[in-house]
Structure formats: structure tokens, C-alpha cells
Amino acid sequence: MEQIKTSFDFEKPLAELVQQIEKVKQVADKTKVDMSSTLAELGEKLVQTQETLYSNLTGWQKVQMSRHSERPQTLDYISMICDDFIEMHGDRTVKDDKAIIGGFATIDGQTVMIIGHQKGKNTKERQYRNFGMANPEGYRKALRLMRLAEKFNKPVISFIDTMGAYPGLEAEERGQGEAIARNLLEMSILKVPILCFVVGEGASGGALGIGIGDKVYMLEHTWYSVISPESCSSILWRSWDYKERAAECLKLTSDDMFNNKLIDGIIKEPLGGAHQNPELMAATVKEQILKDLKELKKEKTEKMIATRIDKFCAMGVVVES
């Protein structure tokens, strides 16, 4: 119970309960009085509070959860899920974009190509990774690796976690929009299975650039939207003060996305978020990967591609009466 990590204002009730439990333990140690019944009662109350709190998070609270500094990122999932991993670098045109990593890996004896955003865990890492915001060369590297996977008939797995594609002038000059659009086209007709997992933030074209797949999943406390709540608030209300309202209006949570048929499923997180038990989270993701790869391998390539295209073409269709 003492290991519960609380970071946000809405988690204060949990922090207070943990503090109470610690105080009771200290009293029990000093006085040698049996406080087991009190501890059991507080422990039960803590679990109930957790279940109630995390099952009723608002859109903005889920955005906060997705940004937790200790939340597992692509390299964490690779180390916990894969037997081995060979990272590959560069787009063969400009340079190696550190915001997107990729390479061949083995999962329970199956070779796959893994591609994902990497934000970094501390200030130095985040600067090195450009906070997970990829330049055009990052998306071109991802496309190069996907074509390599197609050449050797290996499935592609992508982990999405970005605040968006890098919006700098240099990125636009090198064709940011074209790079993302090219990935959408190529991924839609790639001749191998593609599994996509939103493991943190899924913002705009930066997420969509590696987000076209046969199966697209969101972890429970993640978000996926055309724009971040802060940016939406600044555009509509000329201020970031309305970010909570914007988060609700955008319908960006995993539940909203699933109800609108924009994703294929929601992967439940450990109680309190993926950062509370990364190993369990990775095991759940791995189980889903193995299950889907087994099913997708049975499908004929032409049918798989047609189903993938139909799924995305059906999104946002307007029927005029």
C-alpha cells in the first residue's frame, strides 16, 4: 500500500489514506498494540477509493495520467515484451530522428518490426528525443522499416506516444505533411499485419503517422485526438484556462474513441495506471499482440488490406439525406 504513487490533485484522497495507514503502523510498532483490524479496514477503504476514483476519471484527468513521468514508454515495453531487439537507424536521406525508434525484435520466437515514439524520462533524455515529437525524417525512417518488414514478411507493431509531430519551420521545409501523408498511404496497403497501441498521448498527425493498422488499441488512461486540450483551448478561447472543458468537448478518451468506432479495443491498465505496475501492463499488451498475430496470420493478404482500408474509410463518413 505504501508503494502507491500519487502525483495529481485528484489523487489526494488516496495519499491521505496511505498516510493514515502509515501512522497506524507506526503506532502499532511503538505501543505493540494489535491494530490489524484497523489496518484491514483502511486497506479495504483504500482499494474501494482507488476503484471508484480511477473508473470515473474526466477527460482532462486521463490526459494527466497519460503524461505521468514514470509511465512506460516504447523502450520499456520492448525490454519487457521482447526476447531481443536490434535497433535500426536513419531514413537514408537526412539523419536519424531520435523521437522515433524502430527495429526487428523477437516475441516468443516470432520476429516482428517494432516502431514507436520515445519521449524520454528526464530533461536530458527528453531534449535528446525532442520530447517524442518527430521530424519528417522520423516518419521516413518508420516507413523505411515498415517496407523492410514487408520485404521479409514480418508483422509491424507500433507504440504511439507523442504530443504531435514537430511543428518547427525546418520540419515544414523538409516536408512534414507529405511524410505523414505518405505513411498513411503506405501503411494502408502494407502487405503484412499491423498492430497499433496508443500507450500515452496520441496527438494529431504525429500519432496518425504510425497509427494505421489492422488493429488499433488504446490503453485505458490514454487519449487520441486531432489536437491537444491546451491547443484547442488556446484556439477557441484564446487561453489555456479552458483545457479541462476542451478535453471533454474533444471526446478524446479511450471510451469515447471506442464508442465512436475509431479504435478496435481498450486495454485495461493496472489499478492506478500503467506506471503502478509496468510489468503487468507489458504482459497484458504482449498477450494482446500474440492473440492478434495468431488471428491475422490466418487471413489472406488481399482480404486483410481490403478490411484495413474499409475500416478507415468508414470513419467520419457523412451521408446526405
Q: Which tens digit of pLDDT belongs to each residue from 134-150?
A: 999 999 999 999 999 99
137 and 100 Cβ atoms separated by less than 8 Å: no
Question: What is the torsion angle, in degrees rounded to the nearest 10, for the CA atoms of residue 256, residue 81, residue 133 and residue 156?
Answer: -80
Computed on alpha carbons and rounded to an integer, the radius of gyration of the chain in Å comes to: 21
Surface-to-core class of residue 242, CB atoms within 10 Å of its CB (0-12 exposed, 13-18 middle, 19+ buried): middle
d(CA 274, CA 144) in angstroms, rounded, equals 31
Average pLDDT over residues 227-238: 94
Domain 63-314 -> CATH class:
alpha beta
Q: Is the pLDDT of residue 19 over 90?
A: no
pLDDT at 1: 42
Q: Which three cell numbers stand for residue 59?
A: 477527460
Of 202, 246, 211, nearest in space to 66 by CA: 202
Overall pTM > 0.85 = yes
**Which one is predicted more confidently, 7 or 156?**
156
- C-beta atoms surrounding 36 within 10 Å: 10
Domain ranges for the chain: 9-56, 63-314
3 confidence band (pLDDT: 50, 70, 90)? low
Among 34-43, 217-226, 257-266, name the one with the lowest average pLDDT. 34-43
Supply the pLDDT for residue 28: 84
The whole-number pLDDT of residue 2 equals 44
Backbone torsions φ then ψ of 73, nearest 5 degrees: -115, 180
Q: Can you tell me the mean pLDDT for 156-178?
A: 96
Distances (CA, A) of 91 to 129, 144, 167, 169: 16, 7, 19, 19
Whole-angstrom distance, CA of residue 175 vs CA of residue 152: 28
